[in-house]
Amino acid sequence: MPEIPAWVVVGLGFGDEGKGLATDYLCREFPGALVVRFNGGPQAGHTVVAADGRRHVFSSFGAGTLRGAPTYWSRYCPVAPGPLLREYAALRELGVQPRLLLDGRCPVITHYDVLWNRVLETTRGASRHGSCGQGFGATVERQETTPLRLYAQDLAFPEVYEHKLHQIRAHYRTRIQQETSFDFDHLDHDAEDLRFAGYARRLQVLGQEGAVEIVREAEVLAPTAQWPALVFEGAQGVLLDQEFGLFPHVTRSYTTSRNALELLARHRPATAARLLYVSRAYHTRHGAGPLPHAETPVPLINHEQETNQYNDHQEHFRRAPLSVSLLNYALQCDAHYSVDADKYLLLTCLDQLPDGQIPAYVDGRPRPLLLAGLRALLTENLAGTIFSRSPCADDLPPLPTFAPGAAP
């Protein structure tokens, strides 16, 4: 059986590079592709703008959903039942019928994980780590360091998830009382548990309707599975990676191509993946943590629809000139896993630059760049470069090396 195209989308920054645009673009090139979320969780916010004006920020579904692409939510990604259901309703209002293949081993984010996440981040004060406040890191920590593991498959069994939820409540009650001054008992946890049970029942209904299915990894990614292409949609960025990021301002996730390539090696070892790296034409950071050269202003135009806005957990959305050194660092980090893959760069948000030049730092010094000058400064050998001057994937050119729909 001939191997199918497989692409891996990886952000080279601190997140918010344009991975939603990149995923939508690849699903345009390969109709019917399966989108695979392989890291992060519902704290991702991947914006897609359709040619007909529809706009959606994807968190619990793949960014190819507006094109009818199903999503496989792998076991590397915690799932949040409430936000998933709300996003499902929002997509139905857009006239879309999403299809989510949810790995039964996905960790489940509970309201107790979210509470602990927010209380702890607030307690840190000026030493905040930059959390989104969605319970992602707390869930990963609970799953990895305690026996209190709640999985997506458990939500079909009330006797199971009710017992586990009770234990998780006791766990966080103890931690919050011992490590913070927050009054855990002033909240109505029984009501929240009932709400959680309602989410579980609703997911069961969607399962019966074929919209949200509990699946096994080996079945979805088997060589016999009839997908015309695989699009692995990364979340966050390499500079937040738990191996290579700048601790403590990192995520509990491998944000390189590591997980995606492991999935391919396990189930489709003959498939050669291509990498689509993504970066804005300037750096951004939403949340606490270092952002080199942020003291240098980056004037922008055409950015009124910026998805990232001030919130209580991440506060202000910051931007800085593009650091060529950081781009090369991110590329070098990912090369530990993708050394033999063909690699491409998608540079986004060029329509936001008032003079057409990239505000950049080269060798620690400010140096505006033209598009042709950037590629020569990158240490990784790229097979192609794509430049985006629009938030809509339909405005991008065809992939540079072969016709849309053809096998690599």
Q: What is the pLDDT of residues 60-96, one digit of tens each?
A: 999 999 999 999 999 999 999 999 999 999 999 999 9
Tell me the pLDDT tens digit for each residue of 308-362: 554 565 555 789 999 999 999 999 999 999 998 999 999 999 999 998 889 999 9
Q: Which whole number is the average pLDDT over 236-263?
A: 94
Does the pLDDT at position 120 exceed 90?
no
What's the chain's average pLDDT? Answer: 91
- Taking the alpha carbons of 221, 223, 226, 228 in that order, is the dihedral positive or negative? positive
Which residues define the annotated binding site?
A: 15-21, 45-47, 236, 251, 318, 349-351
Q: What is the mean pLDDT of residues 157-168?
A: 97
Give ∠ CA 262-263-266 in degrees, rounded to 5. Answer: 85
Q: What is the pLDDT of residue 318?
A: 87
Q: Which residues contact 61 (CB under 8 A, 6 or more apart)?
A: 71, 84, 87, 88, 91, 98, 100
Does the domain formed by 6-71+215-395 have CATH 3.40.440.10? Answer: yes
Portion of the chain with pLDDT greater than 70, in percent: 92
In the prediction, which pLDDT does 373 show?
87
pLDDT at 193 over 80: yes
H or E stretch covering 377: helix 371-377
Residues marked active site are found at 16, 46
Task: Give the CA dihedral 48, 51, 52, 53, nearest 10 degrees.
Answer: 50
pLDDT at position 404: 40
pLDDT at 171 over 90: yes
Whole-number pLDDT of residue 286: 75
> What pLDDT shows up at residue 402?
44
* Annotated domain spans of the chain: 6-71+215-395
Give the per-residue pLDDT at 147. 96
pTM, rounded to two decimals: 0.93
**What's the CA angle centered on 231, arms 242 and 345, to 5 degrees?**
70
Report the pLDDT value the prediction gives residue 313, as an integer from 0 to 100: 53
β strands within 108-233, DSSP E: 212-215, 230-233
What residue numbers does the annotated binding site for Mg(2+) cover? 16, 45
